[in-house]
Amino acid sequence: MIRYAVIDLGTNTFHLLIVEQQADGTLVELCRERCYVKLADDGIETISEAAFERGIQALRQYQNAIQKYEVKQVQAFGTAALRTASNGQQFVATALEQTGISIQLISGAEEARLIHQGVLQAVPLPKAQVLIMDIGGGSVEFIIADQEKVVWAKSFPIGVAILYNRFHQHDPIQSTDVAALELYLENTLQELLTVAKKYNLAFLIGASGTFDVLEQALVPDKSTALHREIPITDFEKFYQEIIFSSLAERLALATIPDSRAKMVIVALILIRFIVQKMNTQTVVVSAYAMKEGILQEMIAQSK
């Protein structure tokens, strides 16, 4: 039996997934952890000293778990913050020196490809194209794909940490902030909006971050299904209920994790913008994203 460990180092959250492959090929999940390191809490240009240490401490914790489960095959991938921050390479070097974890920095295009691989394992895609959206802290990946292939994909530097620092200037957010953010998205996402006109993208598949919040808040059935549907009407109602809430009010809501309360507003504005532009009828939340795509490739390469 072989054990695999995948570490996904996102801008806001570090994830660890450890699985064991049985003799019949099935996978048993041994460990799943996440740490909210918030590398871009003080801006994505440079990882602050406090965020730097939070990240290294999370990797120390992950290395302990890897040793506990005696995992030999380990892959760690760094995304937006680590590939763009001025001290991203320093973080990679420090992580290797202090934890023994070797981090591979990947491009936005590679990130999008791996997200598609992960989503395919959780969501039965229709024959027609769908839009897959993965919201991170530093970037957002958009993928137009079907059952067989990626038709178009691009990573945009509009992660929630970036949008929050630039547009969420008041508490609660003001309508002028919302309008400014929507105008920025209109200009920044022109390539996506142009390409999307070629397809009927009635389904939006969301992975990671705020989509997990939507699932927790709007899907009463907490079964073990790997994907869940959220009607647009339910999303719109949730949006209207909290869009102008204060941080204190969001922290008091049981449906929003404290770790997501600060930046969830700009994320909801982003999702709503996409839903309206694409005329989306249904949002599907995928339980799997990039780390499951990485895991699939690790297993395939070991055969």
What is the average pLDDT value for the chain, to the nearest integer? Answer: 91
Helices (H), the chain: 49-68, 80-84, 88-99, 108-120, 160-167, 175-188, 190-196, 210-218, 232-242, 247-251, 258-261, 264-278, 290-302
Considering only CA atoms, which of 55, 139, 137, 133 is closest in space to residue 99? Answer: 55
Q: What is the mean predicted confidence (pLDDT) over 92-111?
A: 93
Average pLDDT, integer, range 213-231: 81
Rounded Cα distance, 51 and 24, in Å: 42
Report residue 223's pLDDT band, with 50, 70 and 90 as the boundaries: low
Residue 303 has pLDDT above 90, yes or no: no
Per-residue model confidence (pLDDT) at position 224: 60
Question: What is the spatial distance between Cα 46 and Cα 160, in angstroms, rounded to a whole number?
Answer: 16
pLDDT at 133: 96
Assign domain 109-286 to its CATH superfamily. Exopolyphosphatase. Domain 2 (3.30.420.150)
Task: Name the one residue in this structure whose structure tokens are 């009463």.
Answer: 220
Instruction: Compute the chain's Rg from CA coordinates.
Output: 19
Which amino acid does the sequence have at 82? L
Residue 255, phi then psi, degrees to nearest 5? -80, -10
pLDDT above 70 (res 60): yes
**pLDDT level of residue 141 (50, 70, 90 thresholds):** very high
Is pLDDT of 241 > 80? yes
Provide the whole-model pTM: 0.90
Calpha distance 171→256 (Å, rounded):
17
Q: Given this model, what pLDDT does residue 9 score?
A: 94
- What local confidence, expressed as pLDDT, does residue 127 receive? 80
Query: Given a cut of 80, is residue 222 above it in pLDDT?
Result: no
Domains 2-106 and 109-286 share a fold: yes
In this predicted structure, what is the pLDDT of residue 134? 93
Q: Is the pLDDT of residue 200 over 90?
A: no
pLDDT score for 113:
87
Residue 40 pLDDT class (50, 70, 90 cuts) = confident
Contact 153, 4 (CB under 8 A): no
pLDDT value of position 126: 80
Whole-angstrom CA distances from 5 to 36, 86, 157, 285 are 19, 28, 28, 24
At residue 271, the pLDDT reads 97
Which helix H or strand E contains 6, and what residues bound it? strand 2-9
Q: Is 4 left (phi over 0), alpha (psi -120 to 50) or beta?
A: beta
Res 302 pLDDT > 80: no
If one looks up domain 2-106 in CATH, what number appears? 3.30.420.40
What sections of 35-169 are H helices per DSSP? 49-68, 80-84, 88-99, 108-120, 160-167
Residue among 182, 200, 280, 269 at smallest CA distance from 232: 280
Predicted confidence band of residue 245 (pLDDT cuts 50, 70, 90)? very high
Count of other CB atoms within 10 angstroms of residue 70: 7
Domain boundaries, the chain: 2-106, 109-286
The mean-pLDDT minimum among 20-29, 46-55, 169-178 falls in 20-29
> What value does the mean pLDDT take over residues 163-188?
96
